[in-house]
Amino acid sequence: MSPSEMRELAGQAALRGQASVAFDLSEALISRDDTDLNAHLIRSRAARDLGRNEDALRHARRGWSLADDAQSQYAAALATAQALSSDGRRTSAQFWLRRAIELAPNETLKQRAAEDLVYVRRRNPWSTQLRFSVAPSSNINNGSRNDSSELFGLPFEFGLEGEAQALSGVEISTGFSTRYRLTENDRMRRDLTFGVSHRTYILSEDAKDIAPDAQGTDFATSSAYVALGESHALSGGTARLGWNAQLGRRWYAGDPLLDYTRIGANYRRATSKRGQVSAGISREGQDGVGSRDDATILRASLGYGIALRNGDQVSLSTHAVQSTSDADYLDYDQRTLSASYTMAKPVGPAKLDFGISISEKHHDASSLTPDGRDERAIEARVTAALTEMDFYGFMPTVTLNAEKTDTNIDLYETENYGIQLGVRSAF
C-alpha cells in the first residue's frame, strides 16, 4: 500500500471501531514520517478507544504542534479535548473545546464542538464561574435623589449634603465561584460550593465636588461563603427536591460587617415539555460585627418559567422577605414581583433579554418619623448579548438599568440609571 492508501485504511478502521488495526497502521505511518498530522490524529483516536489515554494525549498534542491552518488546528484541538476528557481531566478538556469552537472553519463544526462542551461540562465534577463587570452609575451609594428632606415630623426641611445625596461614578465588580460534585447518581446530587465576590467604585468628578471627603472604597462590599447542598429526584422523574446550607461573611468598606448562616429548601417540577414551576424557602441568621445589629431573615419564593414554541423564554416570580431585628432599619417586610422575557433569535447583532421587578417594603418603625417607613420600588433592565463578537465561546454583554424608589421619607427616595458591561458564556 502507498502511504495515502494506508492512511485511508487506518482512518476507516478507527471509524469502524477497529482500534487495534488503526493503532498499528498509524504507527507505521508515523515511523515513516513523524510530521504526518493525520496519522497522529488517527493514532490518538485509536489509543483513546484502547484506553491508552497518555498515548492519545501525546499524539493529539503532536498533531496540534503540526497543524498550520484552521481546519487542522480544529481537528487537533478536538482530539486533545477528547483525550483529556477520557483521562478524567474535564476542566482542561473544556478549555480545548472552547479553542476548537474558536477555530471551527464553519458553523456545523462549531456546533459539534459546542455540543461536546455541554456534554463534558455536565460530566465534570468541577464547575467554575468567573464574573467581571464595569457599570457606570448615577447613584453608586444609594443616596437620596433630593437636596433636602423633612425629618422627625418637623414642619421644615433639612438640607442634604455629601454622602446623603446620590453620587455618580463607576462600579467595578468581580466574582469567583467553584462547585465540586461530591456525589451523583440517578437519584441524588451532592455539591460543595465556595465563592467570593468584591465590588468597589470610582467616584466621578461631580461626586467629588458633592462629597470631597468620600472615596469609592468607602462604599465597597465583599463577601465569601462555603455551601453544601443536595438535590433529590422524586418518583415520576419530573420533580426534584433539594436543600442547602451556607456559611459566609460580608465586608463593607474593607471592614467586617456580619457573619451569616443560611439553610433552605427548594422544589422544582416540570409542568409540561416546556414549562417548570419552582419554589424555595430559607432562613438566614445574621450576626453583626462591630456596630452592626443582628437580624433574622426569612425568605420565600415561587416562580414559573416556560419556553415558547419559537424558543423565546418567559418567567414570572414572586418573592417575600421578612427581616426581624431590634434595629429599625433591619426590621421590615418586603414583597417583590418579577418578570423576564428572553428572545431566542438575535435582533441584528444581539440576543435581547428584558426584565422588570416591582417591590414594596414596610418598616413598622423608623428613627426619622413616627409613622414608620414605606417604600415602593421599580427596576427595569434590558441586556444585549453581542453574539457576533464571541471569543472562545464567550460574548460581551451590555445591560441598561433603571431603578426608582419612592418613600414617605424624602431621605430614602432614590433613582439610579446606569449601563453595565460584562461577559457571558454562549453555551
Mean pLDDT of the residues in the chain: 91
Distance separating alpha carbons of residues 241 and 305, to the nearest angstrom? 17
Percent of the chain clearing pLDDT 70 (strictly above)? 96
Q: Which residue has the higher pLDDT, 60 or 424?
A: 60
C-beta of residue 202 within 8 angstroms of C-beta of residue 216? yes
What average pLDDT does the segment 155-180 reach? 81
Per-residue model confidence as pLDDT tens digits over 25-34: 999 999 999 9
153 pLDDT more than 60:
no
pLDDT band, very low/low/confident/very high, at 161 (cuts 50, 70, 90): low
Among 146, 94, 151, CA closest to 366: 151
Q: What's the CA gap between 375 and 300, in Å, rounded?
A: 20
Can you tell me the mean pLDDT for 119-138?
Answer: 91
Give residue 272's pLDDT: 83
Do 152 and 161 touch, CB atoms closer than 8 A? no
CA-to-CA distance for 308 and 19, rounded, in angstroms?
45
CA–CA gap between residue 363 and residue 130 (Å, rounded): 36
- Of residues 371 and 261, the one with the higher pLDDT is 261
Residues 6 or more apart whose CB falls under 8 angstroms from that of 20 comprise 46, 50
Residue with the bigger pLDDT between 165 and 62: it is: 62
The number of helices, as runs of H, and strands, as runs of E, in the chain is 8, 16
Is the pLDDT at 148 greater than 90, yes or no?
A: no
Segment 104-130 shows an average pLDDT of 92
Grid cell for residue 94: 473544556
Average pLDDT, integer, range 409-424: 87
Q: Is the pLDDT of residue 156 over 50?
A: no
> Average pLDDT for residues 259-275, to the nearest whole number?
94
Q: What is the mean pLDDT of residues 258-278?
A: 95
Kindly state the DSSP code that residue 293 receives in the 8-state scheme: P
> Quick one: pLDDT at residue 96?
96
Question: How far, in Å, CA of 353 to CA of 176, rounded?
Answer: 24
With H, G, I as helix, E, B as strand and everything else as coil, classify residue 47. helix
Chain center to CA of 321: 23
In this predicted model, what pLDDT tens digit does every residue of 364-379 receive, in sequence order?
Answer: 888 777 778 899 999 9
- Phi and psi at 217, nearest 5°, equal -70, -15
Q: 226-255 pLDDT, tens per residue?
A: 999 999 999 888 899 999 999 999 999 999
The band of 147, judged by pLDDT with boundaries at 50, 70 and 90, is low
Q: Cell match 465556595: residue?
A: 194
pLDDT of residue 151: 52
Residue 103: predicted pLDDT:
92
Average pLDDT over residues 307-336: 94
